[in-house]
A and B are shown apart, each in its own frame.
Chain A
């Protein structure tokens, strides 16, 4: 069965520092991959998506992600983190039943 793993439960970075959130997927074919962000008490906002083509995907709020088939990874990056980026980040993959399956999430904390 398809699955997605986010190995880091929490990550703390200083404001202005770079960020990389890890995501590994399990899927036989080319996956449909997404990153969502959730602020406290809010719904999920789509940051970016990958279906095919260029493996480096640009998203909103200065985020990007790179699809690496050889590593089964889709890591999210941002060159300079802002305090407002503190939130929960979910990686997700579409399974063979066309259902969106979420990883367990990574909570990002930003130090002033």
Chain B
């Protein structure tokens, strides 16, 4: 069982809809991440939060809006998405930055998003 919980598991939305993806962890981790994964491709980093502050935005379009309400929760707000945004969205968390002390990332099972 994964210790990072993502909801919903599947989401279908139209291009004019507004929806949110949710992620929760209770491991006391202070870094949280959003990754996007297209079929047969590796995950691509979108955002990183460290101590509830946005640390990295990998030039993601503004139709994706992250939010970290507290140290256990991470949201990804979606608005006016395009069909090419259809993908598996993965949330992850780590005790600290992966290169400092080697904290590994723990991943959730993802939300499968389809934009119609």
Residues on A lying within 8 angstroms of B by beta carbon are: 32, 34, 36, 41-46, 49, 51, 90, 94-95, 97-100, 102-105
User: Can you list the 9 inter-chain pairs with the closest CB atoms, starting with the nearest?
Assistant: A102-B42, A43-B107, A98-B99, A94-B99, A51-B102, A98-B97, A44-B107, A43-B109, A94-B98
Chain B residues within 8 Å of A95, by CB = 99
Instruction: Say whether A46 contacts B106, CB under 8 Å.
Output: yes
Whether A99 lies near B43 (C-beta < 8 A) is no
Please, which residues of chain A bring their CB within 8 A of the CB of B104?
Answer: 34, 46, 49
Judge whether B78 is part of the interface by a CB distance below 8 angstroms: no
**A105 vs B41: C-alpha distance when bound (angstroms):** 7
Mostly helix, strand, loop or mixed at chain B's interface? loop
B90 interface neighbour in A44, A51, A99, Cβ under 8 Å: A44
A77 to chain B, nearest CB (A): 20
Contact (A99, B105) CB under 8 Å given A32-B98, A42-B110, A94-B99: no
List chain A residues, Cβ under 8 A from B76: none
Shortest Cβ gap from A96 to chain B (Å): 8
Q: Report the minimum CB–CB distance from A53 to chain B (whole Å).
A: 11
B4 interface neighbour in A43, A90, A104, A105, Cβ under 8 Å: A43
CB contact list, B78-101 vs A, under 8 A = 90, 92, 97-100
Question: Shortest beta-carbon distance, A13 to chain B, in Å?
Answer: 20
List chain A residues, Cβ under 8 A from B2. 43
Chain A residues with CB under 8 A of B27: none
A46 to B108 Cα, complex, angstroms: 11
Q: A32-B98, A44-B90 are in contact. Are A99 and B45 (CB under 8 A)?
A: yes
Residues on B with beta carbons closer than 8 Å to the beta carbon of A99? 45, 48, 56, 98
